[in-house]
Amino acid sequence: MRKGGGLILSHDSSWCRNFHSFENRPVVLNILAMNISKPVKRVDNDEKVLGRAKFIADMKFDDMLYARTLRSTVPRAKIISIEIPELPEGYFIVDHRDVPSNNRVKILENDMPFFAEDVVNYIGEPILLVVGPDRAVVTQILESIKVKYEELPAILSVEEAQSGEKPPIFGDDNLFADYYFDKGDPDAAFEKASRIVEGEYRTGYQEHIYLETQGMIGIYRDGKLTVYGSMQCPYYVKNALIFATGWDGDRIQVIQTTTGGAFGGKEDFPSLIAGHAAFAAIKADGKPVQIIYDRVEDIISTTKRHPSIVKHRTALDENGNIIAMDVDIILDAGAYETLSPVVLQRAMFVATSVYNVPNLRVRGRAYATNHVPASAFRGFGGPQGVFAAELHITNVAEAVGANPLDYKRRFFVKKGDTTATSGLLRRHVPLQEIADALDEMSDFRRKYEEYRKNQRKGTPWRGIGISFFPHGCGFTGKGEEIIRGTASLKRYADGRVEILVSSVEMGQGAQTTLRKIVAETLGIPYTEVIYENPDTDRVPDSGPTVASRTVVIVGGLLERAARELKERWSEPGEITITKTYRHPSYIQWDQDKLRGDAYPEYSWGGNVVEVEVDPVTFEIRVVGVWGAYDIGTPIDERIIRGQIEGGVKQALGYATIEVMETKNGRILQASLTDYIVPTSKDFPRVIFKLIPSPYEYGPYGAKCAGEVPFVGPAPALAAAVQQAVGFRVDRIPVKPEWLLEKELKK
């Protein structure tokens, strides 16, 4: 048994017994799976720690120009006129007329312009660029430009978007997406219910606050456009530039630079800023153009986590058993669609969390508002859906007088059950083991009863909450089949092997984990494996670095490529092996009905959070955090530990101190002075345990991990605060002011 810092990972015979057999794989993999988990020194560690890593702001080119963006100052308006002062020599403007072909960012709907044309739809929307050799002069010019607007009625809430009282932003109903699916016969179940429990749950904005702000450099020379930048998805950027320019793909090269964090905020948004750098570079007559956002600009203009409103109705029989659920999920998508339909789907697919609900109805809608667009963020809709589901089931348990831990585990899904979308669970689901581990580590059952008996007694008030959750690995539905991610390995004559994929390192450890998979399979030192930042002129399209798919999907391709390469190792010269992803043959999915296997595999987890609440100020102090997770085989224990500790604390920030509000379309917390993120001092260290249930199609049994730690802490915290204060806490972030207001209204 290896123990350390809260990580408990069994290497004894029980690991081997629990490890599923791999189809057409040698038994030795059981031993290799144990070996691969041992931590190694991260490949990217020294350069970053010693300050030698070159981020996009560190890159310099001869004759480089600098660009800044003129942005809308109103949430919705017609642009009547733009007054631009006389420009000094060497300075110029770039706007929608400089986009070679399509002034739209290629995402899903392609509705978001690179530059506003006749109207603006949110505060911070880009109108034009000022470009020139001196940043200070560029800023002076920018500040002297005057825009005259005719303001239009702004839609500043989903309620206004639903009402139809103001002219719609999108279509004729403000709906970017409207989905529905069901299971069983929910109407009949509700008709015969002995009791119905209802609740409404709300989540707010969250800002990514990656350490490195958005940035790009564009260079156009000899008919070829090259863009360098901080990004997650080089081929997203390349395809967006192909669409915007109308050029052949051979004329466009995208190179990821060392990226200082992303969390989803550099998934689709970099396509917009890359377009800006590209159009400016085309106009700059061969001179490179750099765009780097400062922190305030980054906060006001980049995408956020979707605010949500989720309504739950749960039907119970005479014994308090759940017989049906009716769930309605609404997301505030902001002014443009971005990735909102897919975020909404994931939120809907976890509407029942980890529970076997035989009769179900789920509806989901993403509305257009005149807010900054929302898009991808760690968890990708899962945190919103699970927050509502878990807190609601806690409330159902309390309504029937049951301990939430005991009540929840009565309905855990297991192998052979079906998911919310009627997909079959074909493997062991270790939720009972996760529940046992959480209870043992946190002493949940005893504390819950003690705090219930002594509610609001003493100082401070105490409470404890528990949550469970699934997380689907990879893209939703047919996403992976559409992307057809491709990965290559190249063996050079000197014996070194290069990984050729478009997956990026953004702080999550891909540079280390993918190297380890290849090295372990080939039996060579991982320092002999080359993995450079992706360059679309050199690497195939492996799909975006999102959805916790880097290890499970791309790592799986590399493992299979390495196995073939190992068989051919004795061949002379260079060898290149390429593999393209295919879903396992059992996957069945109906995209029109949203029915079937939404994901090829699931990771599972649970959290317990214990809090103290000051009865005078209603300030919340987290005094304990525990987690138990099934992520299959951890490819590197230290990296997983970092993912868990960082993800849990990021989630607790989302649930408590990360307050982002808007007034008349303007973000009120637009700096790191006003938007507060947790430090290492704000929450206690996470105590956790891994419960491995490996996935036979993942490399060495690995499942998704990066997003898993974020999903569960918020509902556990809200439940703990709810127990401490003695009234329902149905929204996050949980602000002391809001708690005090509810207390005074009691």
Spatial separation of the C-alpha atoms in residues 448 and 454, rounded to whole Å: 10
Give kind and range of the element (H or E) at residue 239: helix 234-245
State the CATH number of the domain containing residue 255. Answer: 3.90.1170.50
Q: Is residue 208 part of a domain?
A: no
The parent domain of residue 142 ranges over 56-152+213-301
Give kind and range of the element (H or E) at residue 518: helix 510-522
Q: Is residue 653 part of a domain?
A: yes
Report the relative pairing of strands 289-292 and 252-256 from DSSP bridges.
Answer: unpaired
436-443 CB contacts, 8 Å cutoff, 24+ apart: 437/628, 437/689, 437/691, 438/405, 438/466, 438/606, 438/607, 438/608, 438/626, 438/627, 438/628, 439/405, 441/608, 441/626, 441/628, 441/687, 441/688, 441/689, 442/608, 442/610, 442/624, 442/626, 442/687
What band does 28 get if pLDDT is binned at 50, 70 and 90?
A: very low
Mean pLDDT over residues 103-121, rounded?
Answer: 97
Q: Please check whether residues 314 and 384 belong to one and the same domain.
A: yes
> What is the tens place of the pLDDT at every residue in 521-552?
999 999 999 999 999 999 999 999 999 899 99
What band does 481 get if pLDDT is binned at 50, 70 and 90?
A: confident
Q: Please check whether residues 610 and 489 belong to one and the same domain.
A: no
Q: Please check whether residues 35 and 75 belong to one and the same domain.
A: no
Q: Which residues pair with 38 in a beta bridge?
A: none
In three-state secondary structure terms, 147 is strand
Q: How many domains does the chain have?
A: 3
Q: Please check whether residues 246 and 146 belong to one and the same domain.
A: yes
According to DSSP, residue 618 is labeled -
Q: Burial, 656: exposed, middle or buried (Cβ in 10 Å; 0-12, 13-18, 19+)?
A: buried
In three-state secondary structure terms, 245 is helix
Q: How many Cβ atoms sit within 10 Å of the Cβ of residue 487?
A: 29
Q: Please check whether residues 376 and 268 belong to one and the same domain.
A: no
The pLDDT of residue 33: 54
State the CATH number of the domain containing residue 707. Answer: 3.30.365.10
> What is the tens place of the pLDDT at every residue in 680-724?
899 999 999 999 899 999 999 999 999 999 999 999 999 999 999
Q: Is residue 206 part of a domain?
A: no
Q: Please check whether residues 43 and 74 belong to one and the same domain.
A: no
CB 180 within 8 A of CB 362: yes
Choose the final residue of a domain: 539, 571, 589.
589
Mean residue pLDDT of the chain comes to 94
pLDDT at 18 over 50: no
Q: Is residue 222 part of a domain?
A: yes
Which DSSP string corresponds to 673-687? TTS----TTTSPPPE
The pLDDT of residue 10: 31
Spatial separation of the C-alpha atoms in residues 136 and 77, rounded to whole Å: 29
Q: Please check whether residues 272 and 297 belong to one and the same domain.
A: yes
- How do the residues of the chain divide into helix, strand and coil, expressed in percent and rounded to 5? 30, 25, 45
Choose the final residue of a domain: 589, 621, 654.
589
Q: Please check whether residues 598 and 581 belong to one and the same domain.
A: no
Q: What CA–CA distances, in Å, run from 451 to 6, 464, 627, 656, 720?
A: 25, 8, 20, 21, 10
What band does 44 get if pLDDT is binned at 50, 70 and 90?
A: confident
Mean pLDDT over residues 641-655, rounded?
Answer: 97
CB 733 within 8 A of CB 387: no
Choose the final residue of a domain: 243, 275, 301.
301
CB 596 within 8 A of CB 567: no
User: What pTM value is reported for the model?
Assistant: 0.94
Spatial separation of the C-alpha atoms in residues 535 and 238, rounded to whole Å: 10
> What is the tens place of the pLDDT at every residue in 326-367?
999 999 999 999 999 999 999 999 999 999 999 999 999 999
What band does 34 get if pLDDT is binned at 50, 70 and 90?
A: low
The Cβ-side half-sphere exposure at 300, using a 13 Å CA radius, reads 24
The pLDDT of residue 727: 97
Spatial separation of the C-alpha atoms in residues 12 and 301, rounded to whole Å: 51
The pLDDT of residue 132: 98
Q: Supply angle C-alpha 339, 343, 346, rounded to 5.
A: 150
Give residue 548's Cα distance to chain centre.
9
